[in-house]
Amino acid sequence: MARVFYENVYKRWKETVAVKDFTLEIADKEFLVLVGPSGSGKSTALRLLAGLDSISDGKIYIGDRVINDVAPKDRDIAMVFQTYALYPHMSVHDNVGFGLRLRKMPKDQIHEKVVQAAQVLGIEPLLDRKPGQLSGGQRQRVALARAIVREPKVFLLDEPLSNLDAKLRVQTRAEISKLHQRLGTTFIYVTHDQVEAMTMATQIAVMNFGVIQQVGTPQFLYDHPTNIFVAGFIGSPAMNFFEVTVTGDSDQVCLVDDNGLSLPVPAKKRRALEKYRDKKIVFGIRPEDIHDPNFVPPETEVAPFDAVVEVTELMGNEVFLHLLRGETKFLARVDPRTVAKQGTKMELMVGMDNMHAFDFESEQTIFTPEEEEPEIPKDLKRSPATGVAEGAWVTSRGSASTERAEPAPEEEGKVDLDRLVEEEPVEEQVARRQSEVPQGQADED
């Protein structure tokens, strides 16, 4: 069984805390996507699991075994990087079989496994070519095949698609999802692209400043983001935010601002806002919940407000309206039949049933999932992977103003050693690193 469990894991490099109190359970066969902005600690979390970096504090389990002191090659893990890490002088066949050769597997067995993996990924006709004779997408599939033949318990993929063009990315994304279904193995996939996270994951963990912000199914995170960071990160185009004040009494609660905004709050959401009366909160609304008044979906509780249309963008099946109210810019996705005109003021309708609200200071959500949506399908109520009730937000946002993981400044002309290292297959990296430095001291200095 390949359940992976990070227990209060830290990774420190001097004053930088790349991963902080990281606790995450990934169930067997899960496709977990770790998503977050650049420098948020995603790759570090993977490298700790693979054994490419040492753990500063905490434990990592694969199955029931603590792997902190297990040699990387004995961890039953295969890792695929953004850079394909193929040997240019070897054929595709030999590249795919390379890890097995290191393990001294007999030649005929290697051949059998290479052909099987090549069939799974549709690269059988390419086995005699060299990597230089392949397209980017084909190379990426060779890298995946090399990971598959090792039959690992856990697949780690670190931004494997970011070198591909948009069309190939979409294709390869689907291939990786199929591969996951076919192999029935645990996948942990790192990306900063929330679209990849939404489309591929069975579970998403959102990271910021080395801290997990929230874990849940893609739909749950979309519907019930725990804080402003997750709300703004998951969903494209992103959620709109407005600073408003809560007014009224328990029979009628309104969100108002200095520019004449006055939005009545639906009955089921009033109670949670009671303690915020006469206080500032952050009101959040997704672009698809702002409608052209002539095309409001049926049974939607809406409230009107005005805005100036700065730009209209026709997307075919919808129109993006870039809007302005006072100083606040925001975006609406409306019906393509809209008659909205650039440079004019128009009335819009906000679907208040889908409103979000966040505490102004802590930036945490004010509503429980039940208040946001009274009828949540059962399977979304509890995360199968973590066992954590998804309404129970995992942690607060990085309160780590002093321990913030700043991205390392890129020095001009300096060779990026880590990038070079990543171009080596993982077995070689591990072997070389182990011969260079004693485990545990590799990256503390």
Ligand X SMILES: Nc1ncnc2c1ncn2[C@@H]1O[C@H](COP(=O)(O)OP(=O)(O)OP(=O)(O)O)[C@@H](O)[C@H]1O
Residues that bind ligand X in the complex, under the rule CB under 6 A: 13, 16, 18, 36, 38-44, 192, 405-408, 443
How far is it, in rounded angstroms, from Cα 229 to Cα 213? 8
**Choice between 43 and 213, CB closer to Mg ion:** 43
Q: Smallest distance from the beta carbon of 437 to ligand X, in angstroms?
A: 12
Q: Which does 16 bind (CB under 5 to 8 A by kind): ligand X, Mg ion, none?
A: ligand X
Mask 114-133, x = binds Mg ion (CB under 5 A)? --------------------
Other CB atoms closer than 10 Å to residue 392's CB: what's the count? 12
The identity of residue 51, as a single letter, is G
> Which residues 352-381 are close enough to bind Mg ion by CB under 5 A?
none
**Choice between 17 and 100, CB closer to ligand X:** 17
Closest by CA to 244, choosing from 369, 358, 366, 373, is 358
Q: Smallest distance from the beta carbon of 441 to Mg ion, in angstroms?
A: 23
* Alpha helices, H only, 51-106: 92-102
* Contact status: 138 vs Mg ion (CB under 5 A): no
How far is it, in rounded angstroms, from Cα 323 to Cα 390? 33
The answer to whether residues 120 and 179 touch, using CB atoms and an 8 Å cutoff, is yes
**Choice between 207 and 263, CB closer to ligand X:** 207
**Choice between 209 and 305, CB closer to Mg ion:** 209
How far is it, in rounded angstroms, from Cα 11 to Cα 211? 11
Q: Smallest distance from the beta carbon of 11 to ligand X, in angstroms?
A: 8
Q: Smallest distance from the beta carbon of 61 to Mg ion, in angstroms?
A: 23
State the DSSP H helix or E strand holding residue 110, giving kind and residue range, or none if neither.
Answer: helix 107-121
**Choice between 278 and 406, CB closer to ligand X:** 406
Q: Smallest distance from the beta carbon of 156 to Mg ion, in angstroms?
A: 12
- 160-175 burial, b at 16+ Cβ within 10 Å, e below that, comes to bbebbeeebbeebbeb
Q: Which does 245 bind (CB under 5 to 8 A by kind): Mg ion, ligand X, none?
A: none
How far is it, in rounded angstroms, from Cα 83 to Cα 132? 14
**Which residues make Cβ contacts (< 8 Å) with residue 177, sequence separation at least 6?**
31, 199, 200
Tokens of 380: 């979304």
Q: Which does 39 bind (CB under 5 to 8 A by kind): ligand X, Mg ion, none?
A: ligand X
* Contact status: 386 vs Mg ion (CB under 5 A): no
The identity of residue 108, as a single letter, is D
**Which residues make Cβ contacts (< 8 Å) with residue 372, sequence separation at least 6?**
223, 224, 269, 354, 356
Q: Smallest distance from the beta carbon of 403 to Mg ion, in angstroms?
A: 19
Q: Smallest distance from the beta carbon of 60 to Mg ion, in angstroms?
A: 18
Looking at the DSSP assignment, which residues form a beta bridge with residue 357?
283
* Alpha helices, H only, 150-249: 166-183, 194-200, 218-223, 228-233
**Choice between 160 and 287, CB closer to Mg ion:** 160
The identity of residue 347, as a single letter, is E
Q: Which does 443 bind (CB under 5 to 8 A by kind): Mg ion, ligand X, none?
A: ligand X
Mask 21-60, x = binds Mg ion (CB under 5 A)? ----------------------x-----------------
Q: Smallest distance from the beta carbon of 418 to ligand X, in angstroms?
A: 6
Q: Which does 402 bind (CB under 5 to 8 A by kind): Mg ion, ligand X, none?
A: none
Using CB atoms within 10 A of its CB, is residue 408 exposed (0-12), middle (13-18) or buried (19+)?
exposed
Tokens of 379: 């399977």
Other CB atoms closer than 10 Å to residue 80's CB: what's the count? 23
**Choice between 192 and 291, CB closer to ligand X:** 192
The answer to whether residues 148 and 117 touch, using CB atoms and an 8 Å cutoff, is yes
* Contact status: 191 vs Mg ion (CB under 5 A): no
Q: Smallest distance from the beta carbon of 395 to ligand X, in angstroms?
A: 17
Q: Which does 369 bind (CB under 5 to 8 A by kind): Mg ion, ligand X, none?
A: none
* Contact status: 213 vs Mg ion (CB under 5 A): no
**Choice between 47 and 153, CB closer to ligand X:** 47
The answer to whether residues 313 and 342 touch, using CB atoms and an 8 Å cutoff, is no
**Choice between 18 and 110, CB closer to Mg ion:** 18
**Choice between 19 and 123, CB closer to Mg ion:** 19
Q: Smallest distance from the beta carbon of 30 to ligand X, in angstroms?
A: 20
Residue nearest to Mg ion (CB): 43
Q: Which residues bind Mg ion (CB under 5 A)?
A: 43
